Structure 1
Amino acid sequence: MKSGTNFLKKALSFTLLGSLALSLCACNASPSMVTLKSQELTGRLPDESVTGKDPDDTFCSSTADFSIRLFQTALSGSGTGENVLLSPESVLSALSMTANGAGSTTRTEMEQVLCGGMSMEDFNPYMYSFQNRLTTSEDVSFHQANSIWIRNQEDAIQVNEDFLQTDKNYYQADAYYAAFDDRTTKEINQWINKNTNGMIPSLLDGPIADDIVLYLINALAFEGTWDTPYEDSQITEDASFTNYAGEPETVAMLHSTEDYYIHDEHATGFLKNYKGGGFAFLALLPEEGMTPEDYAATLTGEDYLTMFRNRETRDVIVQMPEFTYDYTTELKDVLSEMGMPEAFQKHADFSNMGTTNTGYLYINRVLHKTHIEVDRTGTKAAAVTAIEMTAESCVMEEETPPQVILDRPFVYAIIDTNTGLPIFLGTVNTVQ
């Protein structure tokens, strides 16, 4: 546990979306396919103007549903008493870029899981507006970047130019043509390091396998400070936190009175704003005897949004621990269970993304790695998601203020306060 006072409030997410690999099944390139030959490809594509859609109930409902289902499905497969942290926004962004390259049943399944059955043609404008709005706050820094890396062997992959154009238009994705050798590994890691403000210095740690032909990468970084900073008198350096196993742990505890109280049948919580109020830290303490995992299992996206929208403007007495941890998981099984198994099978259809001279493309695995630090000055968090596609296939009356004392396991999120949608979702089962 780190209890230093020098951390800025930061949340970063990096998503590496996938290495596409060659299939054993042969197929021919269509006339709309192009074999790209330059190192930086984005300049070859026209700058097209697109119209976004402001987040509405349709978008918020589908995105909240994806976020909560991703969270609870991942929790069901996590280790007992383990701290978990996901970035639904990062995963959704990366998968949406990938879904633009999917076809037939593969695309239908992905659209159902990612956007509640909306077509990508309808969903992309929502993502365009939502992501642009997240990055325009004057009170916090929210940076987002996307890139596509393509193996430059002539027989490796022929990329559909329409796919690249769509991801450029709606996700501002840059495209690069690379040798996929040790230098490419270094360049990708440098891109990651730059676009996560140095919080994630690298992801790739070895040679890129011969059957990997394409990577799609999303990185997002959030930096802010508490809207109301903690004074020294509000900090207890040696407070106690009872972990998942019922054992006491010593932790620095932050005391405050917050303005927004949230609750449902099984949990009580609060919102604590970052500077400007556009983003907030949300915490939920399950009732006694209920674990964070058990509580998450009771939620739906609709439940979550209803709880956020019904938040009460009233004093709530809060105690919150400082904490830090890392988390790594593989999301292939999670996403398959959520309803998009075909994307991971050899008969997956990613023909709208591109073709190879030897076969089709499919997702091999989805890696997600996160890091978070919460202290008296703020939060520092990072997330990495890797989707790897491989090459074998084809106002109230006065009363006593409520108290939310986070001295035992709890659920938390970093949210966009305009929509309530979570950028990060996590659990704290231990602070050591």
Structure 2
Amino acid sequence: MSADPGQVAATAAATNAFGVDLYRALTAGGGARGNLVLSPSGLATVLAMALPGARGATADELSKALHTGLTATQYAVATGALDRQSRPADGKDAAVLRRSDTLWAQQGLTLDPGYLATLAAAFDTGVRTTDFRTDPAGSRQAVNALVEKDTEGRIKDLFGPRDITPDTRLVLTDALYLKAKWREPFQHSRTSDQPFHRLDGNAAAVSTMGRNGVLRYAEGSGGIAGQPWQAVELPYAGGNLAMDVVVPAQGGFEGFVHGLDAAQLDRILGGLAERQVDLTLPRFTFETSNNLVGPLRALGVNTAFDAADLGGIPGPGEQERLKVDAVVQKATIAVDEDGTVAAAGSGVGIGAAAAAIPTPAVELHVDRPFVFLIRDTVTGQPLFLGQVADPSPTS
């Protein structure tokens, strides 16, 4: 089943819009004050694995939240193709980008052949069986162990004890692992403790890297929600992956995040052009864990968790109705002078329902909260998206 290039491009844009929506939902109501990392493509992939089994209002709500007008099969195939296109080519300095998609099913549960064929064609997904009914704890351990293995030990215990129960019938997972060197690393000799101005008005001394060089840069005055900002792109070696850092002016971070949408982010990224940049950037390492049922409900996905119609998943003769019980994601990121290591595990639990270089150099000293995005600069697929509110090791 081949993917249409236009549908792949549309799906990349849709995943970007979905990621920004999810980011805003997670940072609403005070969430903007903490560190956050999420994987838009990871969650879009597991939902793309569920969508071909959805019918009626359940399918409509999922499609709307995912910003896609494609059929469920077209969306799954385009998402799978997009995931494959983002894998770097082999080479000495090429980034390591691995992902695996798995379907776990209750022993003895018959699944619709067409549903399985779509997942196999789009994501190369086979079926692993386990006994959720009589051994939910052992089943959860098996699911979590595979995600941990596929993320090089970075994502542990993706599903909690309440996420997988005797009523669970299916679990869909996406495991994503990235290890990438900067195309031009920061010099270790330039790293020093510098003040970082947190949202509470206090400053903390944090380990801060520095470099000078030609980078893609943009700035805006009176931009999103009236907040000035600066942005820079840091390419990784051996491919098309890059990290974009967007830094609102001091005191403007929360207003900036509140006003951010996919169109605004596209305008920021579209304005990047080569400049000589004097850059400082904190080192940071953290992980976040999110139950995504609430944020998805905020995006209009409701029937999947209530009166779900997932009739395209069970095979002939199966009588139980299914509904989504859990949507979870864990992600971690570590950024230093040499590059980035990031990983994400995303899961869905389904249960029985009862230009020219100008001079002089610009300065971008990232000494205040910022937004970051790791993406494929060719397809536009957002692999990771988040914010750093406090890079202190104890944050």
TM-score (norm 2): 0.89
2:381 pairs with 1:421: yes
- Counterpart CA distance in 2 for 1:228 and 1:289 is 31
Residue matched to 1:39: none
What does residue range 168-183 of structure 1 map to in structure 2 within 5 Å? 168-180=120-132, 181=135, 182-183=137-138
Which of 78, 82, 91 is residue 130 of structure 1 equivalent to?
82
Once the two structures are superposed, residues 169-205 of structure 1 have per-residue CA deviations (whole angstroms, 9 ceiling, x without a partner) of 1011121122232543343233112211222244346
User: 1:150 is matched by which residue type in structure 2?
Assistant: A
**Aligned in 2, Cα 1:77/1:166: closer, same or farther, shift over 3 Å?**
farther
Structure 2 unaligned blocks of 5 or more = none
Could you report, residue by residue, the CA deviation over 1:43-95 in whole angstroms, capped at 9, with x for unpaired residues? xxxxxxx2123366533332221111111111114535211111101000011
Contact 1:305–1:420, Cα closer than 8 Å, also in 2: no
Partners of 2:382 and 2:322 in 1: CA distance: 31
Q: Report deviation, 1:245.
A: 0.9
Identity %: 24
User: Does residue 333 of structure 1 match 2:294?
Assistant: yes
Alpha-carbon distance in structure 2 between the residues aligned to 1:205 and 1:350: 23
Give the SS at the match of 1:79. Answer: helix
- Relative distance call for 1:399 and 1:204 in structure 2 (3 A) is closer
Q: CA offset at residue 411 of structure 1? A: 0.6
1:199 and 2:154 matched: yes
Match of 1:40 in 2: none
Q: Does 1:111 align with 2:63?
A: yes
CA-atom RMSD in angstroms = 2.1
Equivalent residue for 1:222, pick from 178, 182, 192? 178
Q: Hey, which of these two has a bigger chunk of helix by percent?
A: 2
AA in 2 matched with 1:179: D
Q: Could you tell me which of 363, 367, 372 is aligned with 1:407?
A: 367
Q: What's the TM-score once normalised by structure 1's chain length?
A: 0.81
Change (3 A) 1:397 1:213: closer
Match of 2:144? 189
SS in structure 2 opposite 1:159? coil
Amino acid at match of 1:89: S
Q: Determine helix, strand or coil for the equivalent of 2:5.
A: coil
Matched, 1:160 2:112: yes
- Where do 1:30-69 residues align within 5 Å? 50-54=1-5, 57-69=9-21
Give the counterpart of 1:98 among 50, 61, 75: 50
CA displacement, residues 8-47 of structure 1 (integer Å, 9 cap, x when unaligned) = xxxxxxxxxxxxxxxxxxxxxxxxxxxxxxxxxxxxxxxx
* Alignment-mate amino acid for residue 226 of structure 1: W
Deviations 1:253-290 (A, max 9, x none): 11113410023423211001110241111101012321
Change (3 A) 1:52 1:423: same
The residue that corresponds to 2:229 in the other structure is 267
**Counterpart of 1:333 in 2: which secondary structure?**
helix
TM-superposed CA distance for 1:111, in Å, is 1.4
Q: Give the Cα separation in 1 of the matches to 2:347 and 2:12.
A: 25
- How many angstroms apart in 2 are the aligned matches of 1:348 and 1:363? 7
Correspondent of 1:148 among 103, 127, 150: 103
- Distance apart, 1:125 and its partner CA: 2.9
Aligned to 1:32: none
Is 1:372–2:363 an aligned residue pair? no
Q: How many residues align?
A: 376
Q: Are 1:79 and 2:31 an aligned pair?
A: yes
Q: Hey, what does 2:243 align to over in structure 1?
A: 281
Q: Does the CA-based 8 Å contact 2:17-2:262 persist in structure 1?
A: yes
Given that residues 275 and 361 in structure 2 are in contact (C-alpha distance below 8 angstroms), is that contact kept between their aligned partners in structure 1? yes
Q: CA deviation at 1:366?
A: 1.6
SS at match of 1:245: coil
CA distance in 1, matches of 2:311, 2:349: 16
Q: Assess, with a 3 A threshold, how the Cα gap between structure 1 residues 124 and 348 changes in structure 2: closer, same or farther.
A: same
8 Å Cα contact 1:308/1:420 also seen in 2: no
